[in-house]
Amino acid sequence: MTPDIWMLLAFAGFLIAGVPVAFSLALAGSVGIVAGLSPDMLATLGTNTYNSVAKYPLIAIPLFILTGLIFERSGVALRLVRFAQALIGPRHGGLALVAVLVCMIMGGMSGSGPADAAAVAMVMLPSMTKAGYPKPFSATLIAASASTAILIPPSVALILYSIVVPGVDLRALFAAGLFPGILAGLALLVPAMIVAKRYGWEGAPVEGAETLTVRTTFRQALPALFAPVLILGGLRSGLFTPTEAAVVAVAYGTIVGLFLTKELSLRDLWELLGEAAIISGVVMLIIALAGIFAWAGTMLGTFRHLAEWIIGLTDNGILLLVLVMLAVLVAGMLLDAISIYLIMMPVLIPVMQHFEWNPVWFGILLAMNIAIGQFTPPVAVNLMVTTEIAKIRLEETLGWALLFVLAMACALALVAIFPSIALWLPSVLGYNV
């Protein structure tokens, strides 16, 4: 067998054996180096891991993770829920609509699906259960809605995509993700409202909802609603770069928590810094060790061989795009977004260039696929979070998960058929697409 086959088999074997993705990538890359190059080349491991993380835009990832944690602890989700409840009022499916809207707004602060799911589930699940919604439905809806966080800017996944794919403007990616993210949320809302009306859930006003007024709850939610405006407005005006936007978001969230909602203490802030450091450390470890795999695959020609094989499957670009999307969807069911980008993009970039797919549009399609994977068993990170909070088994959500997978797949198909859904806004804003 050729060295690149040895490397790929080693990677698959380590994953099957239960080795964490980061170490599977590093070990498989080392196997490829020894088998195809020279054991002396193992001396490059330190340089490759450092070069993988020594990139200025990556600073935004831990900062946006910290932003999400700060807003979660600051009581922002509860205030958004109250405002949405007051705005929508009692009706069949009202709380389902609230859950989707709040998840989308929270996604505009954190950029992380699991963080979004945790914050909203803690607030929404008790209310939805009292209103008659089954826990499996509620947990699945919140998990699916939270997946829009990797589409709606700022998105950690899109930040990484802009680093992996050369020449892609992160601001264009952020702008391109907005309408597909909203479309995905609406696609989830349609079956949720139909099912709620079909089964008569939430027929009576939710307890305490009658005391909520739009004016009062809007005033309380205003600091949270202003956060996405501040981040996106600053990016659009050129006041700060995406990395600087992450710094501004952290500072703003801290001010909101300490002085406006007053639910964040200095002790809490210290704890959140530690929590963000742990989460960021895991992310950066994956990125660093993936550098070994990427370097070995490039030197051995593994990625080029795989890309040529994929291109040789068919001359029909549409058919191949469908096959790629299915492959990414399956990967999304098993791996996290960061691992998928690091593993698959070296192979997909030549394919994308061969068929002249727009890299911004293609990045949004990948993000939508990965978003679907975040609430699709067996490994559904968002769903794991919400089912743990709801105290139910993951298997109980399977039927509802398939319903929402179908709904978001329709949104994905629309963006694939009509690229302007993603590309119109960045074009109007003057970004390079």
- 140 pLDDT more than 80: yes
- Highest mean pLDDT range out of 43-57, 197-211, 342-356? 342-356
Q: Is pLDDT above 90 for 157?
A: no
Spatial separation of the C-alpha atoms in residues 339 and 367, rounded to whole Å: 13
Other beta carbons within 10 Å of 259: 10
Cα separation, 293 vs 36, whole angstroms: 13
* pLDDT on residue 321: 92
pTM of the model: 0.86
Contacts for 317 with CB less than 8 Å, ≥ 6 apart: 355, 357
pLDDT tens-digit map of 244-287 = 888 888 899 899 989 888 888 889 999 999 988 888 888 888 88
Amino acid identity for residue 60 in this structure = A
- CA–CA–CA angle 159, 164, 168 (5° rounding): 70
Cα separation, 89 vs 255, in Å, equals 31
- Among 32, 333, 359, CA closest to 168: 359
Write the pLDDT tens digit of every residue in 310-328: 888 888 888 999 989 888 8
Buried b (16+ CB within 10 A) or exposed e, 401-417: bebbbebbbebbeebbe
